[in-house]
Amino acid sequence: MPATPASPAPALCVAIRLERMMPLVVLAMLLALAGCAGPDLAMRDGGGLSVDRALVLAEARQSLGTPYRFGGTDASGLDCSGLVQRVYSRAGISVPRTSRRQFARLPPIDEARPGDLLFFDTAGGGDASHVGIYLGDGEMIHAPGRGRRVSVTSLSLDYWQERFLGAAAPAP
């Protein structure tokens, strides 16, 4: 009868398991350090986007195709400010519920970067009545209105140019 190989000593088993886990341990440490170092470290190669902005953009893209629903804040339907609130909250950033309050309370900026909010007066009253999330390259994701779905639109359209009020940067 052939001899059965002896099982490795318990200390050797632990050492083998630790060796196999080392890449995961290193990855976890790097992620922890990136979080401690702040948003600038996270995606320097990715166009200078912070982790927060990357999360905002990823969440916004996942909302594409969601039906418009006035007052909507979930996957069954979103309005423009509901889209913004949902996307930012999923990235861990709290923003006010309505486009008017978002425009009034969030820090304004002169030049939008991907992930920033763009505000428009679409009702003609001088107040922010529509908001979208800037994607970069002259495009935004927004919930356009009744009977439509969350989509990407070009900011070069006269409609948006004529109604633009300003931009805000809730994400670092």
Q: Per-residue pLDDT tens for 126-165?
A: 999 999 999 999 999 999 999 999 999 999 999 999 999 9
Q: How confident is the model over 76-83, as a mean pLDDT? A: 98
8 A C-beta contact, residue 129 and residue 99: yes
Residue 25 DSSP class: H
Question: How many angstroms separate the CA atoms of 118 and 140, rounded?
Answer: 8
Predicted structure pTM score: 0.73
The conformational region for residue 33 under phi > 0 = left, psi -120 to 50 = alpha, else beta, is: alpha
